[in-house]
Amino acid sequence: MKKLIAAISMVRNDSFFADKWISYYGKHLGFENLYLFIDGMDQPLPKQASKINCFQIQHQNLNRTEGDRHRAKKISEFACKLYPKYHSVLAMDIDEFLIVDPKISFSLKTYLQQDFKSASCSALGLDVAQHPGLEKAIDLKSPFLSQRKFAKISDRYTKPIVSFKPLKWGSGFHRIKGKNYKIDSNLFLFHFGLVDLKSAKNKSDLTEFSNQGWRGHLNRRFKLYKTMEKETAQEGDFLFDKARDFLNRKRKWYSWNKPAPLKGESLIIIPKRFQTLV
């Protein structure tokens, strides 16, 4: 029996991530195993939409919190229906890319086809952004990680996006409802929401985002640009194991199934072995 892996996401007001998402996960998992919801009948389809299972749905005008919950609920319900056809189902935002550390020489599909003891697993989150003073605008024809050198190790993006049985994700896929989490030692989740400063700023200026309560969230996110100019970045491999250990152990009592925020500086230089992967 083939151990198939599926990936699901939803997209709205996208500038360039959807086709990147399709190319990346299609290459690793097979285009026929990708499921993408286009949030709004007014939204253009990605250029590669015909290669995958693409569904255009009616947009619901919800605020940020309600929208996150709605998206997680809809995708969780859809993911449950994909079992038992699939060995594993991944669910993530459109700007998130799951990578197996190249030092172990496993493809993403082969790695996830192993028999995991847990119902899900998390990847160590790396929040990648354009360094305002050192890096140019992103070139979509070249790999993102060949153009971006820095990232922040992030508890927020250390998400349990990998499932091995039907389950329910919480808002933003930050937790599994009623389940603990385990951070895998070889998986990284690269978040590229701030990979291009101009595009991120343009998106934040959309009236829809202001009306739905995204302004405060985006202002907090944009602090990463200032962090990059102020903090001294450390070598990623020096911090990865320490960060995993901390995030596996520490959590708030009221949020026991999500990692607690990291303490201290966590800006890293992305190891060169990742440069050609996304």
Q: Is 258 helix (H, G, I), strand (E, B) or coil?
A: coil
The Cα–Cα gap between 199 and 184 comes to 32
* Residue in 1, 43, 4 with CA at minimum distance from that of residue 25: 4
* Alpha helices by DSSP H, 34-144: 64-82, 108-112
Confidence tier at 142 by pLDDT (50, 70, 90): very high
The dihedrals phi and psi of 200, each to the nearest 5 degrees, come to -65, -40
* Residue in 270, 257, 7, 24 with CA at minimum distance from that of residue 155: 257
pLDDT at 264: 83
Q: Is the pLDDT of residue 212 over 70?
A: no
Delimit the domains of the chain by residue range: 5-274
- Check: CB of residue 277 under 8 Å from CB of residue 146: no
Please state the rounded mean pLDDT for residues 121-143. Answer: 95
Q: Is the pLDDT of residue 244 over 80?
A: yes
Q: Is the pLDDT of residue 241 over 90?
A: yes
User: What's the burial of 227, exposed, middle or buried (CB within 10 Å: 0-12/13-18/19+)?
Assistant: middle
Confidence tier at 213 by pLDDT (50, 70, 90): low
Give the strand pairing for 88-91 and 162-163. antiparallel
Please state the rounded mean pLDDT for residues 174-202. Answer: 92
> Taking the chain, what is the end-to-end CA distance rounded to the nearest angstrom?
30
Q: Is the pLDDT of residue 41 over 60?
A: yes
Q: Is the pLDDT of residue 208 over 70?
A: no
Q: What is the pTM of this model?
A: 0.94
Residues linked to residue 126 through DSSP beta bridges, in sequence order: 153, 190
Please state the rounded mean pLDDT for residues 199-227. Answer: 71
